[in-house]
Structure 1
Amino acid sequence: MLGRGYIIGERGLARNTATLCFAFAIVFAFVVPILSPQGRWHTRTSRKSPTVMVLSPKVYTWLCGLFAALGSVTFGYDLGIIASILPAEDFIATTGNPDSTAQGLIVGCLLLGAFASNIYVGNLADMVGRRVAILAGCIVFLLGGGIQAGAQNIHYMYGGRFLAGMGIGMLAMLAPLYQAEIAHPSIRGRLTTLQQFMLGIGALIASFIGYGCYHGLSGQAQWRVPLAIQLLPALPLAFFILLLPESPRYLAMKDRNEEALRVLARLHAHGDIHDSFVVSEHREILAQVQIERQETRDAWAQLFLVKSNFRRLLLGVAIQFSIQLTGVSVIQYYAPLIFESIGIDTSTTLGLQSGNSVIALIGEACCIWFIDRLGRRGPFIWGNALSGLTFVIGTIIIAVYPASTNNHNASRAFVAMTWLFNLVFSSCLGPLSWAIPVEMFNSATRARATAITSSAAWISNFMIAQVSPIAFDRVGWKYYIVFAICGFSNALFFWAFLPETKGIPLEELDTYFEGMPIFVPGSKVHVPEDPNQREEELRQGKVMVPERAESDILDEKEKATIEHVA
């Protein structure tokens, strides 16, 4: 049981772990029945009179996306738990008393594995489908997590972290890809930002589990138990992911057009394949797939040789690199070292990180709420500028009042800046770094492009993980100046070059980017103010079908009922 100072005993830890498992069981017992073919939750009040609660199509689709994002809990947990594992005495002894370089490699192997997974995951997703690829990611992660929990020396940790990273890299790329492809245009942002929200839940769980194990357990259990707990979220995802509907865009790419129509109806109209919105959406998807095939059958060629696609690819890579230049991974991985430089011990740091995780979750919830109201561009620009400002203030504090001054007010002010940074990052930057790249590409290039942009996230993350310990040793607090400057330079760059993508159907983004100038400010390209506007037009039969695709996609009856607007 949690007591004063959050110190728990072994029985308390066991009870909390059992409670965690029970909570997961309750969640999945609730979610899985909801994911029935037409989004209905069946209850029976008598043998003759079943009661049917019909979920809103958007709620149903959102729940599908929420379940698919469960893999991000493992992502957040694995990122968060390592800070409490590295200082454990038995872990240090088991891994041969690793120096700062070896500890950096333990952290970095997860990121290298995630980077390696992006070499093949895009092709895998296009070959076997989004759901089966997610299942494969779960299996790889479970293998890597098991090796970590049973590690006998540092080489086991390297291998386990690498494999777990491969699984995490697959899940982190596939979840927003799947979410974007099943979403209504008006809630796509709320769906794809679930990735970061679930990551925050994982980090929150990790902070409390790590703090409790660090104080309440000793010996091998102090680090093996928290490493073993990371396996729990991946198990129900692996068992139940195939119960979710497949991506209709993937089905259309494989010429499974009737199945794509049924899935769209299941997601967006309670199974009604004659619903006007579903029919219009289906026509747009088929038309876009045909255009992509007419232009080129090679998705890699489309990605690098088509000017508009290559521009989007560069933007996606820049977004992921910019995230690491905010300094978020430095705080996440090396919080004990950072706080030590201002006079805060490891035990207190782990407790503060628990509070920081709560703040992150609040920020991520705020992002889900405002993303489809305020859009992507504005929050991303202002978030970068504000993150740079928090680093400016934090750098001044740590430069003027180092640990040797024993100034408790300065320590509190520095902690407040890290918390404020985390709130800004979690509400404006982290979720959007996954949501924006995945919604910029067409069906033929989306999986491969997202794999490349995700690989940029992992390799830049690895770079920060390796460079930071050396930078702390060589230049100390001056290292933070880099992130203070980059926050403002990021904001300026994206103000100049990042277009808004709120409310635009995926099939219409090619046309949108082709008409958008490279320098975005002052552009007169229309962006819907109301995210529901384009959905209403689809319900009225206004389909954006290019002339060269119309004859093959629509028969004469459909041409009469569906307005051709482009």
Structure 2
Amino acid sequence: MGKDTFELGGQEWPKVTWWKMKGMRFVYLTLWAAMITSATNGYDGSLMNGLEAMETWNESYNHPSGSTLGLLAASMAIGSMLSIPVVPYVADIFGRRAGVVVGCIIMLFGVVMVSIGYKIALFVVGRIILGFGLGIAQECAPLLVTELVHPQHRAIYSTIYNSLWYVGSLIGACVALGTNHIHGSAWSWRVPCLLQGVPSICQLVFIWTVPESPRWLISKGKLEQAKKVLAYVHAEGNEDDALVNVEFDEIRQTIELEKEFEGNSWAEFWSTPGNRHRLIILISIGFFSQWSGNGIVSYFLPQVLKLIGITNSNTVLTINLILSAVNVVSATGICFFVDYFGRRKLFLTSSISMLVCYIVMTIALARFEIAENDHAARAVIVFIFLYYISYNIGFSGLLVSYSSEILPYRLRAKGLTIMFFCVDLSLWFNQYVNPIALEAIQWKYYIVYCVFLAFEIAVVWKFYIETKEIPLEEIVKKFDGDRAILGGAAASEKANQLTGHLDANTGFNDEKAMTTQVELKA
């Protein structure tokens, strides 16, 4: 495959320049309305660090610590877990855009409750509602992005989606640092809480400028509308474009074959070797995204810095702000090299680098406890930054994009639900257990993550496969081999055997589709 081409349907196609194509340019510039869901989640992570460092917030909630602080932080993850039973059905029945809207409306109710009063119970319930809405929106939004963008741009845009977590985190850090100067007033913490609703309001207004997923439209039998979306986004509205026809036929035939011969129940995930392989990746990547040690700093930075003698709130908030800025640059920067290096290499590099950083931090923390060595304290801060750059190489952006692309359409919403459930479960554990463990055994808790990171490297090496520059529908061949269900010009052997049955019963291989395939094979 040449550097100026990409592959689809067994053919090479010239790469396009998105800003020179009217429809693509408009959609890509408005796609932020779906992608900022991730930033909303990131804002919350930075918000909790900011609140914990604010004296006014601590006074309002009677200086929470230990299990109480863990419950306050973990309540959002609890809400996300409670949304698990409904999320895939909202995405598959009502559509990707409608799912984002439903999630945003629920989040706004949660923001109001969090911002109202001083009661811990009200704060916890508000964050549970906030997490419930986020659980719906954060699954529907990446599905829309992955299924809508041009094949050439899938890796970049789907990876940028999750990297925007840090944009939200940076904004949250800036707001917390600024409002901390409102001395002696509850508005110093109320304002950051209220601003958490701004992204949801923006999404409710602008999400309608983004077209619906053509794959969802095809699954609902809205073929004409789906083709118009594909043509508008990928070919400046030309429905006779060869690439659009190949995409349309491959997507439509694959979905029809899946409906006819494959199930989409939860049991499908352990019914075949390929799906069991996918399930291992989904579960592991969900836990690895939070159990790689990032959960300590993301939500409990003040407690970590206290281990090296840093307690001044402005100093803590400044470090939080700089860390967020570094994360934005490193996480978004790597997105443009995903197809150059490949997913597997990035995951392995990330895991190995994080282990090295954690070992160094553990040693430095131990030395500081023994002698309160300033060099050890500075080493901890430096390697916190290096650790996050290492984390961002693999797990920041690829968490959602890799999980989405390894799944066939019929299982994509349910598969992402499984992955996000593992994320929420690990978040709940981290946010509840981490402050207790840090208070009880301090730096020794870092040893637990050193051991886990070694296990993580082994799992990534064994199970994570490369999907570099492979079209979305065609990735099934990597997992299912001869059993893969894939239509269109790149149809698998099994699909070709089944096509005759569908021709006789559904007639989906119309004359135009047949002509396109004959031309491509010729």
User: TM-score, normalization: structure 1?
Assistant: 0.82
Q: Determine the structure 2 residue equivalent to 1:490.
A: 456
Counterpart contact for 2:53–2:316, Cα < 8 Å = no
User: 1:255 deviation in Å?
Assistant: 1.0
* Distance change (3 Å), C-alpha of 1:200 and 1:327: same
- Work out which of the residue numbers 415, 425, 447 in structure 2 matches 1:459: 425
Counterpart contact for 1:73–1:202, Cα < 8 Å = yes
Work out the CA distance in 1 between the residues paired with 2:360 and 2:481: 41
SS in 2 for 1:401: helix
Work out the CA distance in 1 between the residues paired with 2:448 and 2:414: 31
1:74-473 to 2 correspondence within 5 Å?
74-347=40-313, 348-402=315-369, 405-473=371-439
- Work out which of the residue numbers 541, 549, 556 in structure 1 matches 2:499: 549
Matching residue's letter, 1:544: A
User: 1:317 deviation in Å?
Assistant: 1.1
User: 1:54 deviation in Å?
Assistant: 5.2
Counterpart contact for 2:274–2:479, Cα < 8 Å = yes
Matching residue's letter, 2:185: G
SS in 2 for 1:233: helix
Work out the CA distance in 1 between the residues paired with 2:139 and 2:428: 17
Counterpart contact for 1:387–1:425, Cα < 8 Å = yes
Matching residue's letter, 1:191: Y
Work out the CA distance in 1 between the residues paired with 2:440 and 2:354: 24
Q: Determine the structure 1 residue equivalent to 2:14.
A: none
* Distance change (3 Å), C-alpha of 1:557 and 1:359: closer
User: 1:195 deviation in Å?
Assistant: 2.2
Q: Determine the structure 2 residue equivalent to 1:559.
A: 514
Work out the CA distance in 2 between the residues paired with 1:56 and 1:221: 45
Work out the CA distance in 1 between the residues paired with 2:351 and 2:25: 31
Work out the CA distance in 1 between the residues paired with 2:168 and 2:399: 18
Q: After superposition, give the CA deviation of every residue in 1:144-168 in whole Å (9 maximum; x if it has no partner).
A: 0111111341111011110111122
Counterpart contact for 2:97–2:141, Cα < 8 Å = no
- Give % identity: 28
SS in 2 for 1:562: helix
SS in 1 for 2:470: coil
Give the paired residue count: 492
Counterpart contact for 2:331–2:393, Cα < 8 Å = yes
Q: Determine the structure 2 residue equivalent to 1:19.
A: none
Work out the CA distance in 2 between the residues paired with 1:461 and 1:372: 29
Work out the CA distance in 2 between the residues paired with 1:492 and 1:303: 22
Counterpart contact for 1:115–1:458, Cα < 8 Å = yes
User: 1:488 deviation in Å?
Assistant: 2.7
* Distance change (3 Å), C-alpha of 1:500 and 1:95: same
- After TM superposition, the structure 1 stretch with the greater mean CA deviation from structure 2, 189-198 or 409-418, is 189-198
- After TM superposition, the structure 1 stretch with the greater mean CA deviation from structure 2, 122-131 or 543-552, is 543-552
Q: After superposition, give the CA deviation of every residue in 1:171-218 in whole Å (9 maximum; x if it has no partner).
A: 222222111111223221111112223211110011111122223443
User: 1:261 deviation in Å?
Assistant: 0.8
Work out the CA distance in 2 between the residues paired with 1:561 and 1:108: 53
User: 1:100 deviation in Å?
Assistant: 1.8
Counterpart contact for 1:90–1:220, Cα < 8 Å = yes
Higher-RCO chain (CA-CA 8 Å, sequence separation at least 6): 2
Q: After superposition, give the CA deviation of every residue in 1:9-29 in whole Å (9 maximum; x if it has no partner).
A: xxxxxxxxxxxxxxxxxxxxx
User: 1:63 deviation in Å?
Assistant: 3.2
Work out the CA distance in 2 between the residues paired with 1:103 and 1:561: 61
Work out the CA distance in 2 between the residues paired with 1:217 and 1:507: 56
Matching residue's letter, 1:145: V
SS in 1 for 2:337: helix
Work out the CA distance in 1 between the residues paired with 2:475 and 2:342: 15
Work out the CA distance in 2 between the residues paired with 1:557 and 1:204: 50
Work out the CA distance in 2 between the residues paired with 1:449 and 1:163: 23
Q: Which runs of 5+ in 1 are unaligned?
A: 1-40, 42-52, 518-524, 526-537
Q: After superposition, give the CA deviation of every residue in 1:309-342 in whole Å (9 maximum; x if it has no partner).
A: 2320221111111122211011111111111111
* Distance change (3 Å), C-alpha of 1:197 and 1:557: closer
2:425 is equivalent to residue 478 of structure 1: no
User: 1:59 deviation in Å?
Assistant: 4.5
Q: After superposition, give the CA deviation of every residue in 1:421-458 in whole Å (9 maximum; x if it has no partner).
A: 11111232221112111111111110111111111101
Work out the CA distance in 2 between the residues paired with 1:363 and 1:557: 46
- After TM superposition, the structure 1 stretch with the greater mean CA deviation from structure 2, 429-438 or 275-284, is 429-438
Matching residue's letter, 1:508: E
Work out the CA distance in 2 between the residues paired with 1:58 and 1:242: 16
Counterpart contact for 1:188–1:372, Cα < 8 Å = no
Counterpart contact for 2:158–2:400, Cα < 8 Å = yes
Counterpart contact for 1:80–1:207, Cα < 8 Å = yes
User: 1:501 deviation in Å?
Assistant: 1.4
Work out the CA distance in 1 between the residues paired with 2:427 and 2:347: 19
1:20-35 to 2 correspondence within 5 Å?
none
Work out the CA distance in 2 between the residues paired with 1:61 and 1:385: 37
SS in 1 for 2:308: coil
- After TM superposition, the structure 1 stretch with the greater mean CA deviation from structure 2, 380-389 or 98-107, is 98-107
Matching residue's letter, 2:508: I
Q: Determine the structure 2 residue equivalent to 1:8.
A: none
Matching residue's letter, 2:316: T
SS in 1 for 2:198: coil
Matching residue's letter, 1:558: A
Q: After superposition, give the CA deviation of every residue in 1:60-109 in whole Å (9 maximum; x if it has no partner).
A: 55434433111222111111111121343443343344342111101000
Work out the CA distance in 1 between the residues paired with 2:339 and 2:26: 18
Counterpart contact for 1:344–1:411, Cα < 8 Å = no
* Distance change (3 Å), C-alpha of 1:502 and 1:210: same
User: TM-score, normalization: structure 2?
Assistant: 0.89
